[in-house]
């Protein structure tokens, strides 16, 4: 049974954000900066809901020596507002590390450090977010034949609450993918769980790990497990011949530019597909060249010393998994000659990627009012607003899940600062500033206190 949370009764927010990862933290900051500039009636009232109990960005993969795949200048704000007080440089200054970072001469901070930056930035706008609150449904509220606003049902430790908004911004991120027919278990992990689970192995002297996949996360898992468990063999399984390096050369990197979003959005479908084929290797199934070199050097050193602990089963596929309480048995089949290798291991790590969740999965009957293209994909306008039937007067904006319309930056950090600026402009351009207080309050409401 739903109940309306105290203080929220009657209020129709200008915007509700679902998820509070980097995308929606950046959104909250853009709104905060806009409100500080605009003040009064042009201010936007936004509320965000995050299911995690506190801010967390891929915590399971915060391997201590892993670095960002994106320049620190592509932080939450700089490309939109280089003078922002929410930048990575301001964070460094607040931590007393600005000069040390500069001396480091490196554009790519540790992932742990960027996580700390995200946390710092999120804390500055934490009056707009409710942690430990999972959005579980959305329903339309119809008035005079049109959908005037949306009811968002949120589950927390206190039960279900209903909140209302005229616009949604969905920033719920990606979901871990596992191969078909394989179930996760005590000894079968997705790499997203690595750090949450690995400590439990301490003191158990594991003898073998199997890591499936050939992307950045897979290579990081191989290197990490090899380093952390000096008595264990680590077997890497993948269908490629070897790890392929990420193309981070300057011209190719322009595929992440804000202007590339315009080009991609405008291009016909065939050109879109070609661009993804050409430049997918800037991001997908590729590994930093330094890490590739480290792993190769390590493998060769062990060969020389006769202490081989790194094994690469290339041109191979995982074809079977059997978990028992003590072990997991992975069957690996060579794609060259079909030969099967049985690997009994302590843990099998599936570093088999992430995929988009259906961005409209939470929307219930509202999703029926969202239009799809001939291939069943959500239609999205340039301003990241879902194309809907005209009777839906609310904006549904997507941060993520727009790779088919906006290109490769859809789920990445590269364009986040610019994207949230564009969404903010869209909210304002589409007339929020002219909405009367009355229109922002449902009939039985108590006012617009949060504005």
Ligand X SMILES: Cc1cc2nc3c(=O)[nH]c(=O)nc-3n(C[C@H](O)[C@H](O)[C@H](O)COP(=O)(O)OP(=O)(O)OC[C@H]3O[C@@H](n4cnc5c(N)ncnc54)[C@H](O)[C@@H]3O)c2cc1C
**Cβ of residue 213: shortest distance to ligand X, in angstroms?**
12
Residues 320/321/327/332 CA torsion (nearest 10 deg): 30
Region binding ligand X by CB under 6 A among candidate stretches 84-92, 95-103, 165-173, 427-435 = 165-173
Minimum CB separation of residue 4 from ligand X in Å reads 18
Asked whether position 359 contacts ligand X by CB under 6 A, the answer is no
Which regions of 108-192 does DSSP assign to beta strands (E)?
A: 129-131, 134-143, 146-156, 159-165, 167-170, 174-176, 188-190
130 is a contact residue toward ligand X (CB under 6 A): no
| Plot region of 239 (φ>0 → left; ψ -120 to 50 → alpha; else → beta) | alpha
CB nearer to ligand X: pick between 284 and 296: 284
Q: Is residue 22 near ligand X by the rule CB under 6 A?
A: yes
Whichever of 321 and 362 has its CB closer to ligand X, that residue is 362
Compute the Cα dihedral for 259, 265, 270, 274 and give only its sign. positive
Q: List binders of ligand X among 241-270 (CB under 6 A).
A: none
Residue from 32, 34, 47, 58 that binds ligand X (CB under 6 A)?
58
State the DSSP H helix or E strand holding residue 292, giving kind and residue range, or none if neither.
helix 289-305
Is residue 298 involved in binding ligand X (CB under 6 A)? no
What residues numbered 405-434 form the site for ligand X, per CB under 6 A?
Answer: 411-414
Residue 128 sits in the site that holds ligand X (CB under 6 A) = no
CA atoms of 193 and 190, how far apart (whole Å): 6
Residue from 4, 174, 276, 299 binding ligand X (CB under 6 A): 174
Does the protein bind ligand X through residue 363 (CB under 6 A)? Answer: no
43 vs 211 by CB, closer to ligand X: 211
In which element (H, E) is residue 88 found?
helix 88-95
Please give the Cα distance from 287 to 433 (Å, whole number): 46
Contact at 8 Å (CB) between 379 and 373? yes
Q: Closer to ligand X at the Cβ: 89 or 313?
A: 89
237 binds ligand X (CB under 6 A): no
Closest CB 63 distance from ligand X, rounded Å: 9
User: What does DSSP assign to residue 351?
Assistant: -
From the list 12-20, 259-267, 364-372, 421-429, the region that binds ligand X by CB under 6 A is 12-20
Task: Confirm if 75 and 66 have CB atoms less than 8 A apart.
Answer: no
Task: List the x/- string, 75-114, binding to ligand X by CB under 6 A.
Answer: ----------------------------------------
3-state DSSP call for residue 273?
Answer: helix
Using alpha carbons, select from 287, 267, 171, 284 the residue that is nearest to residue 218: 287
Q: Which is nearer to ligand X, 23 or 388 (CB)?
A: 23
Q: Do residues 423 and 384 touch, judged by C-beta distance below 8 A?
A: yes
Query: Quick check: 287 binds ligand X (CB under 6 A)?
Result: no
Q: Does 172 bind ligand X (CB under 6 A)?
A: yes
Does 18 bind ligand X (CB under 6 A)? Our answer is: yes
Q: Which residue has the tokens 């769980």?
A: 193
Tell me how far apart the alpha carbons of residues 383 and 397 are, in angstroms, rounded to a whole number.
8
Query: Among candidates 371, 376, 347, 362, which has minimal Cα distance to 172?
Result: 362
What x-and-dash track marks residues 327-356 binding ligand X by CB under 6 A? ---------------------------x--
* Closer residue to ligand X (CB): 110 or 146: 110
Q: 412 or 432: whose CB is closer to ligand X?
A: 412
**Positions 205 through 224 that interact with ligand X (CB under 6 A):** 217
Is residue 173 a contact residue for ligand X (CB under 6 A)? yes
Distances (CA, A) of 348 to 177, 200, 215, 222: 14, 15, 16, 11
Half-sphere exposure of 17 (CA within 13 A, CB side): 31
Integer Cα distance of 26 and 270 in angstroms: 32
Question: Is residue 57 a contact point for ligand X (CB under 6 A)?
Answer: yes
Total residues contacting ligand X by CB under 6 A comes to 32
Q: Of 131 and 433, which has the nearer Cβ to ligand X?
A: 131
Q: Which residues of the chain form contacts with ligand X (CB under 6 A)? A: 18-24, 49-52, 57-58, 61, 68-70, 134-135, 171-174, 217, 354, 362, 399-400, 411-414
């Amino acid at each position: 049974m739903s109940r309306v949370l105290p203080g929220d009764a009657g209020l129709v927010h200008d915007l509700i954000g679902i998820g509070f990862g980097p995308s929606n933290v950046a959104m909250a900051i853009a709104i905060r900066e806009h409100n500080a500039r605009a003040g009064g009636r042009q201010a936007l009232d936004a509320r965000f809901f995050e299911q995690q109990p506190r801010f967390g960005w891929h915590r399971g993969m915060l391997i201590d020596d892993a670095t960002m795949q994106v320049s620190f200048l592509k932080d939450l704000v700089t490309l939109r507002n280089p003078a922002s007080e929410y930048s990575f440089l301001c964070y460094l200054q607040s931590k007393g590390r600005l000069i040390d970072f500069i001396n480091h001469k490196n554009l790519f901070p540790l992932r742990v450090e960027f996580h700390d930056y995200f946390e710092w930035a999120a804390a500055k706008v934490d009056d707009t977010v409710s942690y430990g609150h999972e959005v579980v449904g959305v329903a339309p509220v119809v008035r005079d034949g049109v959908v005037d606003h949306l009811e968002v049902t949120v589950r927390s430790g206190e039960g279900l609450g209903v909140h209302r908004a005229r616009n949604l911004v969905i920033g719920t991120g990606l979901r871990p993918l596992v191969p078909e027919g394989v179930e996760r278990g005590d000894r079968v992990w997705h790499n997203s769980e690595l750090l949450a689970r690995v400590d439990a192995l301490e003191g158990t002297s594991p003898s073998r790990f199997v890591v499936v996949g050939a992307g950045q996360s897979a290579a990081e898992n191989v290197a990490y497990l090899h380093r952390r468990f000096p008595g264990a063999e680590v077997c890497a399984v993948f269908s490629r011949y070897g790890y392929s390096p990420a193309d981070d050369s300057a011209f190719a990197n322009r595929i992440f530019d804000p202007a590339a979003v315009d080009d991609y959005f405008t291009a016909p479908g065939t050109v879109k597909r070609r661009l993804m084929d050409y430049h997918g290797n800037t991001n997908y199934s590729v590994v930093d060249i330094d890490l590739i070199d480290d792993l190769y050097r390590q493998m060769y050193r062990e060969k020389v010393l006769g202490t081989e602990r790194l094994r690469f089963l290339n041109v191979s596929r995982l074809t079977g998994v059997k978990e028992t309480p003590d072990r997991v048995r992975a069957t690996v089949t060579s794609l060259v000659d079909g030969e099967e290798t049985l690997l009994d291991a302590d843990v099998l790590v599936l570093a088999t990627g992430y995929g988009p969740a259906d961005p409209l999965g939470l929307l219930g009957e509202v999703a029926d009012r969202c239009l799809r293209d001939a291939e069943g994909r959500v239609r999205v306008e340039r301003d990241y607003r879902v194309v809907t039937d005209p009777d839906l007067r609310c904006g549904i904006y997507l941060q993520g899940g727009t790779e088919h319309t906006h290109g490769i930056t859809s789920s990445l950090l590269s364009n986040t600062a610019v994207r949230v600026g564009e969404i903010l402009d869209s909210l304002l351009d589409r007339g929020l500033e002219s909405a009367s207080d009355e229109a922002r309050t449902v009939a039985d409401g108590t006012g617009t206190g949060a504005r």
